[in-house]
Amino acid sequence: MLTKLNLRGIGSIRDLEIEFGDRLNILTGDNGLGKSFLLDVIWFALTDNWIGLPALPNFDQDIPPYIRFQVSNGKEGESVFLFDKQRWQNFRRSQENEIVIYSRIDGGFSIFDPLRQFTPNEVYNFTSNQVLNGLIFNNGSIPCMGLIHDLDYWQLKQTETPYQILQSVIQHLSHPDELMQVGSSVRLSVDDSRQIPTLSLPYGNVPITHASSGIQRILSLAYMLVWAWEEHIQIAKLKRSEPLKKIVFLIDELEAHLHPKWQRTILPAILQVCKLLNPEIEVQVVTTTHSPMVLASAEPYFEEELDKLFLFELLGSEVTLNEIPWVKQGDVVGWLTSEIFDLKQARSREAEAAIGAAQAWAVKDWSYKFPDNLKTFAQIQAELEKVIPGHDPFWIGWTVKNEARQK
């Protein structure tokens, strides 16, 4: 498991040091500040591989760029950018002791299994299409048959472990009010002889190829977890090795494509499902999120001894990353107005401006910078009536204050 990471001369933060929690690490912050970039660097540190283009050094610095990290067994690694060769130096480390799964924002996945070390393909990079339809190499080998094939095949052998686990994982990841189960497979096209698995939903069976983006993301998370673990077990048998018991799970934008009621269940489910693979597995999750619902859902499960919350912030022209003390905010509104999202009001910008002007007017704070369209009581009142619903609690205090002023 990753315990420390130190970056210098790359990314938005010129000198970054971060210590990770043993179980859950949540990265938050505005767009473009480096959350996805940090996941890419973590992947490189743990696997010695980049997904797509490698990180570029900050060319305006004289300090040699480097990436340093430490894992839970105390071992350290360092990679320096070699300007003469225009690439990052390999870590040259001994074999790792954890499987690494990266759920990317583009719907694809990357899988690293240390038991594949010294083989031609120690890392598998899946597109979202390959997750469904399989990964096929130019030499004809097929390391993964894909979700469509495997789900149908595992269903035919329901006594086998993969299907039982996948069914349980799907149920854990689905919303309690809309439980998903694997339905019967159907043929859909004259041009495709495959039997396409379906999902049994409250309103009927839906072929997985026609499921919504959110449901496909849930399915892909479940399938990749089960496939990576089952493949690891098979490799361990072939190599006469003991299976590993550690998984690092990187998830970019955990809430992508999910309705708020699914966002409320996805993180607790992720923390539980890996135990279905093997109760002895240790799991470290590093995830990015923009969702206050995800953070609210973590409140019953967050353990300060094991988990950490981090915030990327832009202060002037400098980007910072700091660990934020965990404080329960109670609900989504509390999270939206906390330092994590830093909204003055959990409302539209127009409503926030109108209420700000109203509050300043009520206490006669004439130092307040009233917007041009909110300089008189009549303008403020008209704008409030436009942007604030009649049942809003704000009206009680506002009405009382105005009546008191008129007496």
- C-alpha closest to that of 267 among 290, 296, 247: 296
What is the number of helices (H) and of strands (E) in the chain? 11, 16
Residue 343 in domain: no
Specify the pLDDT at position 59: 77
- Which pTM was predicted? 0.91
Work out the percent of the chain whose per-residue pLDDT is above 90. 53
Residues 358, 326: one domain? no
251 versus 161: the higher-pLDDT residue is 251
Report DSSP state, residue 57: B
Residues 325, 380: one domain? no
Specify the pLDDT at position 95: 52
Residues 363, 259: one domain? no
Please check whether residue 67 is in contact with residue 7, taking contact to mean a CB–CB distance below 8 angstroms: yes
Q: How many domains does the chain have?
A: 2
Residues 315, 387: one domain? no
Residues 261, 362: one domain? no
Residue 55 in domain: yes
How far apart CA 119 and CA 122 sit, in angstroms, is 6
Residues 310, 376: one domain? no
| Residue 56: both structure tokens together | 């570029």
Give the number of C-alpha atoms closer than 13 A to the C-alpha of residue 96, restricted to the C-beta side: 27
Residues 26, 136: one domain? yes
* Tokens 């010695």 found at: 48
Q: Which ranges constitute the DSSP H helices of 174-305? A: 213-238, 260-277, 292-298
Residues 390, 321: one domain? no
How far apart CA 158 and CA 292 sit, in angstroms, is 39
Work out the percent of the chain whose per-residue pLDDT is above 70. 96
Residue 232 in domain: yes
- For all residues of the chain together, what is the average pLDDT? 89
What 327-336 contacts at long range (C-beta under 8 Å, 24+ apart), as own/partner pairs, is 328/299, 329/295, 329/296, 329/299, 330/296, 330/299, 331/296, 332/292, 332/293, 332/296, 334/296, 335/292, 335/295, 335/296, 336/292
Residues 374, 295: one domain? no
Choose the final residue of a domain: 314, 336, 358. Answer: 336
Choose the final residue of a domain: 310, 336, 362. Answer: 336
pLDDT bucket at 407, cuts 50 / 70 / 90: low
Domain harbouring 106, CATH code? 3.40.50.300
Choose the final residue of a domain: 336, 370, 391. Answer: 336
Digit-coded pLDDT (tens) for 318-368: 899 999 999 999 999 999 999 999 998 899 999 999 999 999 988 889 999
Give Cα separations from 153 to 145, 196, 234 (angstroms): 10, 10, 17
Residues 277, 370: one domain? no
3-state helix, strand, coil in the chain (%, to 5): 35, 25, 40
Digit-coded pLDDT (tens) for 59-72: 777 778 999 998 88
pLDDT bucket at 170, cuts 50 / 70 / 90: confident
Digit-coded pLDDT (tens) for 84-101: 888 898 876 555 689 999
Res 165 pLDDT > 90: no
Specify the pLDDT at position 349: 92
Instruction: Show the domain range for 107.
Output: 2-336
Calculate the dihedral angle through the C-alpha atoms of 87, 92, 97, 103, rounding to the nearest 10 degrees. 10
Residues 159, 42: one domain? yes
How far apart CA 155 and CA 361 sit, in angstroms, is 67
Give Cα separations from 110 to 127, 169, 202, 387, 392 (angstroms): 9, 19, 32, 46, 47
Residues 297, 401: one domain? no
DSSP 352-389: HHHHHHHHHHHTT-TTS---GGGSSHHHHHHHHHHHS-
Residue 344 in domain: no
